[in-house]
Amino acid sequence: MKIIKTINELRQWRKTVDSVAFVPTMGNLHAGHLALVREAHQHAENVVVSVFVNPLQFGQGEDFAAYPRTLQADAEKLQNAGVAVLFAPDDKELYPNTTQAFNVEPSALQNELEGKFRPGHFRGVATVVLKLFNIVEPQIACFGKKDFQQLVVIQQMVAELNVNINIVPVDTGRADDGLALSSRNGYLTETERQQAPQLYAVLCNMKDELQKGRRDFSQLEQQAVEKLNNQGWQTDYVEIRRRSDLAHARPDDNQLIILAAAKLGKPRLIDNVEVDLS
């Protein structure tokens, strides 16, 4: 596996191969990322993984400085996973100017759900992903469904800007007790880690209620928020949305998704559960 740190070197390597699948990450790789790499191998001869903690997508007071940077351990995992290139640029390489003047402006969806609590986050994500796409020039790119809103923003970006890359969604990796795998799980204390699967359990319970026929979405959402808050969480949102575009769900929609974000102590976790009512 090559470890490449500059855009120039990546472009030189890219000229030597045809078929490339891409997995963008912020590093601190876990089994969920490795599932993305396995999926990428199904689609192309060469898999490129980027590791870059993107300052543009972190707001003030968020964990940019504290975000775990574990490049050496990441490189070992990627080498074992048969990756052709690990692209690990530094901040200056991707953002040589002090400000990023040109940005990708996602649709109004960027201000809902996660975007309501993380202003500017999806502009930062879309901008770095388009930059990485322009550098790596893959035919396909894999994105985890755990960050479902991010997946939809990227799908909308490639559709509306005619980016010729096939976006492949990959199911969320989970621990045995249901907790969605995330680099941020490392922030949980031992007690919080025990409690953390409650978020997924509450979403699964809502899914059961929907499958039994309930369509009182607001009440279901409110009950879930109360349940989490009574268990000691500080819930930012629990919302039932239409899966294809994350519009507000209507009672006759049958492909739904329940999305949630909540804090357990300091760490903030997100998760979602897909619901098929057809």
Residues at the interface with ligand PAF (CB under 6 A):
24-26, 54, 57, 125, 128-129, 147, 150
* Nearest approach, Cβ of residue 54 and ligand PAF (Å): 4
Known active-site residue 33: yes
Question: How far apart, in whole angstroms, are the C-alpha atoms of residue 4 and residue 13?
Answer: 9
* Nearest approach, Cβ of residue 45 and ligand PAF (Å): 22
Question: How far apart, in whole angstroms, are the C-alpha atoms of residue 127 and residue 28?
Answer: 21
Task: Between 26 and 47, name the residue whose CB sits nearer to ligand PAF.
Answer: 26
Task: Between 40 and 202, name the residue whose CB sits nearer to ligand PAF.
Answer: 40
* Nearest approach, Cβ of residue 181 and ligand PAF (Å): 12
Task: Between 46 and 54, name the residue whose CB sits nearer to ligand PAF.
Answer: 54
Q: How many CB atoms lie within 10 A of CB 185?
A: 16
CA distance readout (Å), 228 to 85, 174, 209, 220: 42, 20, 17, 12
Of the candidates 33, 43, 121, 248, the residue annotated as catalytic is: 33
Question: How far apart, in whole angstroms, are the C-alpha atoms of residue 30 and residue 32?
Answer: 5
Helices marked H in the chain:
7-14, 31-41, 71-80, 91-94, 114-117, 121-136, 148-160, 190-195, 198-211, 217-230
* Nearest approach, Cβ of residue 128 and ligand PAF (Å): 5
Task: Between 26 and 260, name the residue whose CB sits nearer to ligand PAF.
Answer: 26
Catalytic residues: 33
